Amino acid sequence: MGNGAVPLELGPLYEAYADMIYRLALVRTKNRSDAEDVLQDVFFRCLRRQPEFRDQEHQKAWLITAAIRSSNSLLTRADRRHGAGAEPLETLSTQDDTDDTVYTAVMGLPEKYRTAVHLFYYEGYSVEEIGRMMDTKPSTVKSHLHRAREALRKVLKEDA
């Protein structure tokens, strides 16, 4: 950090981005405890490095990319420990009558598809932007989204 920029602090950073990172991490890890670990890792990494951000969008994209990286590492470690993927996420603790069928269907997708779906449909990023965040080609993201839609269509049709 330089140029007299205001140092980043945990409180405001948490206030602004905790929900976003936690939701993304949960989609990737399917585990609340792991998602919290990712959240902590991303924030601490950001606070340690104090990167300079051009604007809010830049900051958000940085954090998302860091969350993807962090969850990649965590998933790899989890795989080493358990020899399999993370334990499945329990159902969302619904406090109202909202139907979580769609969310559950998304969580049933392979990890790469879930990430692409989440960033595209929830965070509203373009295929190109997602490609940059995931360090993959836009055509691969498109392909993931296409396959995810196909799978979701099938699952949701069966549920209906």
Residue numbers of the site for another protein (CB under 8 A)?
A: 10-11, 14, 18-19, 22-23, 26, 35-36, 39-40, 43-45, 47, 49, 51, 54, 57-58, 61-62, 65-66, 69, 72-73, 75-77, 79-80, 85, 92, 94-96, 98-103, 106, 111-112, 117-118, 121-122, 128-129, 131-137, 139-140, 143, 149, 152-153, 156
Name the residue nearer to another protein (CB basis): 14 or 87.
14
Of 31 and 66, CB closest to another protein: 66
Cα angle 30, 62, 41 (rounded to 5 degrees) comes to 50
Q: How far is the CB of 45 from another protein (least distance, A)?
A: 7
8 Å CB contact between 91 and 103:
no
Sign of CA dihedral 101, 105, 106, 107: positive
**Which is closer to another protein, CB of 6 or CB of 15?**
15
Q: Can you give 12-47 as a three-state secondary structure string?
A: HHHHHHHHHHHHHHHHHHCCHHHHHHHHHHHHHHHH
When the beta carbons of 6 and 80 are compared against another protein, the nearer one is 80
Nearest distance from C-beta of residue 95 to another protein, angstroms: 8
Are the C-beta atoms of residues 127 and 152 closer than 8 Å to each other?
A: no
Tokens 């995931």 belong to 134
